[in-house]
Amino acid sequence: MCGTTGLSVCLDAQRFIKLNAVCGIVFLLLGGVAALLLALTRWQTVHLLPVDWFYRLLTFHGINMLILWILFFEVAILTFTCTTPLNARLFSRKIAWASFGMMLTGAVMVDYIILAGQADVMMTSYLPLLAHPLFYLGIILVAVGTLIGVFNFFATLYVAKRDRAYEGSLPIVTFGALAAAIIAVVTLLHGAVVMIPTFTYAMGWTAQPDPAWYRLIWWGLGHQSQQVNVCAMVAVWYLLSHITVGARPINEAVCRTAFVLYVLFINLASAHHLLVDPGVGAAWKIWNTSYAMYLAVLASMVHGFTVPAGVELAMREKGYTRGIFGWVTALPWKNPAFSGTALSLVIFGFLGGITGVTLGTQQINIIAHNTLRIPGHFHVTVVGGTTLAFMALAYYVIPLIFQRDFICRGVARVQPWLFGFGIVLLAFGMSFAGTMGVPRRSWDIDAQGVYGPAAHLWLGVLGIGGILAFTGLLLFALLCVGTLFFGPKIEGRAMADWGTPPALAGSQPGSLANDHYATKGTIVLTLTFLACFAVYYFANWKALADVWPVR
């Protein structure tokens, strides 16, 4: 029984949450070191790395940040959400060991072979580029290991339902994790389908798979794995807004329906990587990146409304009712779990969401494809959104699971702000340099002799943002590792409070449940978001029209 939450904790699950979370943070740190070196190379004035190490570390960075850190931490989240909130035991310890062992073996194999210089193929490893067979085998092991972990999640859900460990519907955080797990199944199946023939080709046993087919199936792994993140991130938003402020979903059915829209449609976003490929037709491209994709975008906008609306409702019910935004100033901004969640939501929604939908439009994509605008977009979704949300979660998970309070709590309160600001700066640098045509995945742009001082200025902003974000990441890793070794032991008492807004005198929980105008502050924020969206979208159509001026 947890001394802080009063919830029953499955000790097997706790062990695997620890193992997966710690491994995830280690891979995050490794990928972060590579990120710093890459940012200092794209900053053309510094231009730190030689060409071979640039592409080697670009491969290393992508694999560690987009595959290893995310998948390990997500298995930790799946293990938590299918046990503790349901008062259930983990289905199988042996299966969990098999999953963890395969993932770790594969991850070490992939990282080793990249650093040994045998896999300078970047994260996408597009054929006909060819890496050492161990690279593909490592990814297969990670994918299959994660799939086994996802199976353990589903089996635990089945047993919990059968044994009536919980009544009624799944809690929303577990439902969000369920959506992530379903997307993970599709993702990992694509990973196995594309990597197995590529591995056998690398071994010399079979012919080379068709590069166009490879790209189609690979993006079923590469982009969909980021959609697993999105679901897990949103589930974390709901969990942390409840823990830190007492928020609850303003309409459970609508929130769950939004998760179902993710399950059904968000995977199709993978298609935008093939928008300039000749092998697939316009109907396939437009259906998958536009019409169907808008349903998933609708889901993100639903979550982007319901999470802050739930927070506003909770704050107003606690008595913070002054004006439209009086509740905002009373929020626990010094609580790193809350500030991390809020920053994650704003960065993901305002910057990542708006740019993502715009860049995914087939016509507009033609002026942005393979420029730095694309990494500018996904650094605010995957890093500013998901990674920051997962960091925020760690500020509660580590004390609860490891039974130690955080060290250097003042530094912890600053960390999400520093990391978030750094990532936003980095993404702005990438996006504006990309708007000027600076390509992604390029070691040197000076040799082309076509980029002026403005592009170099934005690459400098990218570099400074990278330094700040890495500093924030390093602080996070040091705080986590330091806490594991030196954090004050909790031993039965409640974990130290990061700060939650108290209920004011005369306030009443649930008093605004039927007040449809209680979320007016969130409505104003939503309208602001939509205005930004419209301006950015039409500005990009204008930029596209300028490509073919008619005079």
Partner 1 sequence: MNNEPKIHPWQKVLDNPWLLLVLGVLIPILSYTAWGWVELLLTKPALLP
Chain positions contacting partner 1, by CB under 8 A = 154, 157, 169-170, 175, 178-179, 182-183, 185-186, 189-190, 210, 212-213, 216-217, 220, 224, 253, 256-257, 260, 263-265, 267-268, 270-271, 274, 278-281, 284, 287-288, 292
Closest distance between partner 1 and the C-beta of residue 419, in Å?
Answer: 32
> Both tokens of residue 254?
């609508």
CA 37/CA 42 separation, integer angstroms: 9
> Minimal distance in Å, beta carbon 283 to partner 1?
9
For the bound state, the minimum distance from the C-beta of residue 171 to partner 1, rounded and expressed in Å, comes to 12
Which amino acid, 546? D
Least separation in angstroms between residue 158's CB and partner 1 is 8
Report the C-alpha gap between 226 and 431 in whole angstroms: 20
- Which of 287/333 has CB closer to partner 1? 287
Quick check: bond before 128 cis, omega within 30?
A: yes
CB-CB neighbours of 185 under 10 Å: 16
Beta carbon of residue 298, minimum distance to partner 1 (angstroms, whole number): 16
Between 26 and 217, whose beta carbon lies closer to partner 1? 217
Sequence-distant (6+) residues with CB within 8 A of 99 are 75, 145, 146, 148, 149, 152
Nearer CB in complex with partner 1: 280/496? 280
Minimum distance from CB of 272 to partner 1 (Å)?
Answer: 11
The CB-of-102 to partner 1 minimum distance in angstroms stands at 22
Whichever of 196 and 464 has its CB closer to partner 1, that residue is 196
Return the C-alpha torsion angle 391, 396, 401, 402, nearest 10: 80
Q: Establish how many alpha carbons lie within 13 A of residue 21's alpha carbon, considering only the half-sphere containing its beta carbon.
A: 27
* Residue placing its CB nearer to partner 1 in the complex, 219 or 348: 219
Q: Which is nearer to partner 1, 220 or 352 (CB)?
A: 220
Residue entry with tokens 């991390």: 340
For the CB of residue 10, give the shortest distance to partner 1 in the complex, in Å: 19
Buried b (16+ CB within 10 A) or exposed e, 62-84: bbbbbbbbbbbbbbbbbbbbbbb
> Quick one: 22 or 183, whose CB is closer to partner 1?
183
Measured CA to CA, the distance from residue 456 to residue 404 in angstroms comes to: 46
Q: Which is nearer to partner 1, 212 or 408 (CB)?
A: 212
Q: Find the shortest distance in angstroms from Cβ 269 to partner 1.
A: 9
Q: Kindly give the residue spans of alpha helices, DSSP state H, lying in 82-223.
A: 93-115, 133-162, 172-202, 211-222
Q: Are 99 and 130 in contact (CB under 8 A)?
A: no
Q: What sign has the CA pseudo-torsion 39, 45, 48, 50?
A: positive
| CB neighbourhood size of 390 (10 A) | 27
Closer residue to partner 1 (CB): 6 or 281:
281
Q: Which residue, among 75, 85, 73, 79, has the nearest Cα to 2 in the 3D structure?
A: 85
CB of 259 to partner 1, least distance (A): 9
Phi, psi values for residue 439, rounded to 5°: -75, 155
**Cβ distance to partner 1 smaller for residue 288 or 358:** 288
Q: How far apart are CA 356 and CA 339, in angstroms?
A: 23
Q: Which is nearer to partner 1, 214 or 402 (CB)?
A: 214
Closest CA to 296 of 273, 323, 271, 320: 271
- Reported as half-sphere exposure (CB side, CA atoms, 13 A), residue 362 has a value of 18
In the complex, what is the shortest distance from the CB of residue 278 to partner 1, in angstroms, rounded to a whole number?
A: 8
All residues at 6 or more sequence positions from 267 whose CB lies less than 8 Å from its CB, including other chains = 183, 186, 187, 220, 224, 227
